Amino acid sequence: MSVTLKIRTQPIGSPVIHGNPYSVFVVKEGYAYTDKDGNMKADGSITLVKGQQVILVDTGNPWDKGVILQNLETHGLEPKDISFVVCTHGHSDHVGNLNLFPEATFIVSYDICKRDVYLSHDFREGLPFKIDDYVEVFATPGHCGSDVSVLVRGTEEGTVVVAGDLFEREGDDGSWQLLSENPELQAKHRDKVQDVADVIIPGHGAPFRVIKEYEPVL
């Protein structure tokens, strides 16, 4: 007898995932839709990962400054308290507010820098960049040529992956390919992330659970 893995998903229904030492907060839920006049409207998810380090994953578009500052204030944080800013990729709805964070180390796609000092790190070889034992940044290209995702261990929901546009939203199975620079590569990394994640925070939708069920094949 062998087993097959079936994956299904389910919305978590909350912008907050508590954990120890890290909790994850969706600052702004990303979206993408066509309005009644036929305009394509989109903005990327902005996520705060708060624990030993304070990490912001993606910074929305240039008009999201207010929402970010306001949300940080509710956590008792100022922009200078952000130790890492990770941008999953370089599109304008993910990198709109980098200059709000004077003390941060920036990881933008495969670049890591603090001010004008660049750290060399081999994302291309698949090596994750460990912020500490609980949080790491790893390469998940496909949507663009050099996307990264952020993995957070030890939350009450298990392992959370903030995935940028690797996942547009829950149930995007037939649509993500249209926005992909390399669908084959993206499919590979989507599988990998679904394997390790208990929750995925997508680039343009609400957080969702990844439920793995092993079914016997008789």
**Nearer to Zn ion by C-beta: 56 or 166?**
166
Site stretch for Zn ion (CB under 5 A), options 1-9, 34-42, 69-77, 161-169: 161-169
Site stretch for Zn ion (CB under 5 A), options 99-107, 109-117, 164-172, 186-194: 164-172
Closest separation in Å from C-beta 165 to Zn ion: 4
Q: Which of 91, 169, 189, 190 binds Zn ion (CB under 5 A)?
A: 91
Residues whose CB is less than 8 angstroms from the CB of residue 90 and which lie 6 or more positions away in sequence, other chains included: 108, 109, 144
How far apart CA 166 and CA 188 sit, in angstroms, is 10
Closest separation in Å from C-beta 88 to Zn ion: 8
Q: Which of residues 19-78 bind Zn ion (CB under 5 A)?
A: none
185: buried, middle or exposed (CB in 10 Å: 19+, 13-18, 0-12)?
middle
Count of residues interacting with Zn ion (CB under 5 A):
2
- Nearest to Zn ion by Cβ — which residue? 91
Q: Which SS3 state, helix, strand or coil, does residue 135 take?
A: strand
Rounded (5°) CA angle 86-114-57: 10
Closest separation in Å from C-beta 109 to Zn ion: 11
10: buried, middle or exposed (CB in 10 Å: 19+, 13-18, 0-12)?
exposed
Q: Which of 43, 58, 64, 165 binds Zn ion (CB under 5 A)?
A: 165
Site stretch for Zn ion (CB under 5 A), options 15-23, 86-94, 98-106, 206-214: 86-94
Site stretch for Zn ion (CB under 5 A), options 15-23, 63-71, 130-138, 165-173: 165-173
- The 177-196 site mask, x for binding Zn ion (CB under 5 A), equals --------------------
Closest separation in Å from C-beta 3 to Zn ion: 36
Contact 145, 181 (CB under 8 A): yes
Contact 91, 121 (CB under 8 A): no
Site stretch for Zn ion (CB under 5 A), options 8-16, 123-131, 162-170, 192-200: 162-170
> Strand locations in the chain, DSSP E?
2-11, 16-17, 23-28, 31-34, 40-43, 46-50, 54-57, 84-87, 105-108, 111-114, 117-119, 129-130, 135-139, 148-155, 158-164, 199-202, 208-217
Closest separation in Å from C-beta 144 to Zn ion: 7
Which stretches of the chain bind Zn ion, using CB under 5 A? 91, 165
